[in-house]
Amino acid sequence: MADYQDIRGLRVKYLSADPSTATVGEVWYNSTSGTLKASVLGTAAWSSGGAYPVAIRETCGCGTLTAGLGMPGQTAAGATTVSAEYNGTAWGNTATSNTTCIARGGAGLQTSGLAMGGEPGSGEVEEYNGASWSEETNLGTARYALNGAGTQTAGLAIGGRYSAASPGAVEEYNGASWTAETVQPSGTSYAGSCGTSTAALYFGSRPSPTTDTFDYNGASWTAGGAHPTSIGGCIGSGTSTAALQAGSGPPQSTVTAIYNGTSWASNPSMAVARSNPGGSSVSNATAFMFGGNPVSGFTDATEEFNDGSAAETQTLTTS
């Protein structure tokens, strides 16, 4: 029978401590703990994060797992102007926005966030600089339950609900003004989105959940792979070719899935079933989501996602 050296061409290292970095597949013996260990790929999973400052729904967010931004939404007391920063463990550095409205679209990073629209039928736009919010040029079409993608200086406002203009309005932002672009085909709202202003992904719908996915190339929309579940009221994070979808409802759901640019694959479910949460926008490998509509009421629960692509140390046993 072949041994480890025959298979890997390496000897098992004898170390007093685990190495700070290790290649996936590398095996060593830790003489201090008396255990055989290996560097392996992790397992995709959701885990609990720090509680948001308020129980909230109809909200949005942006940024990364370790540098995230939660934007205002609706609390039991009504619409809130509270926003907060996430460091991967806890929320802090709360700041208040200038506009009181819910169901906004969000994009950008923690230190350069972009909030768009909101209920009731607002065209308000605000930018966050890492410390405070400032009012900017309004959207051309006032709306709520819209979606955002891109950055603070190259943003995208997609879909939403409003009484004027045709459903599915799309506008691009250059950091100073908005330009109307090709209408999003399904003309829906309360969907998920991610990506950039020239390579965006849009999926789902509320109140009529759908499996539809659409890709945007900066000029036009094309149909993408169908989601395995009819969804709506969800978040998106990542790029148009590496996207994460999380949450759905009503009815509230724990469903999550990963998109590779062509097709969706189901992923481990969240712990809390909810719709209309806020969440990160940059990566599908590591992400966060907070708040949302649970089966009833509001929630301050935050969950973190890791797709298991990063190497982790595992103790090897014979059982």
State residue 296's pLDDT score.
85
Q: Tell me whether residue 183 is in a domain.
A: no
Domain co-membership, 280 together with 213: yes
* pTM score of the predicted model: 0.88
Domain range for 22 is: 4-41
Into how many domains does the chain fold? 2
The helix or strand, by DSSP H or E, that contains position 217, with its residue range, turns out to be: none
3-state SS, 125-186, equals: EEEECCCCEEEECCCCCCCECCEEEECCCCEEEECCECCCCCCCCEEEECCCCEEEECCCCC
Tens of pLDDT along 191-216? 999 999 999 999 999 889 999 999 99
State residue 164's pLDDT score.
59
Domain co-membership, 37 together with 52: no
> What CATH number has the domain bearing residue 270?
2.120.10.80
Low-confidence ranges of the chain (pLDDT < 70): 1-10, 163-166, 319
Domain co-membership, 220 together with 262: yes
Give the count of alpha carbons within 13 A of 237, CB side only.
31
Domain co-membership, 286 together with 192: yes
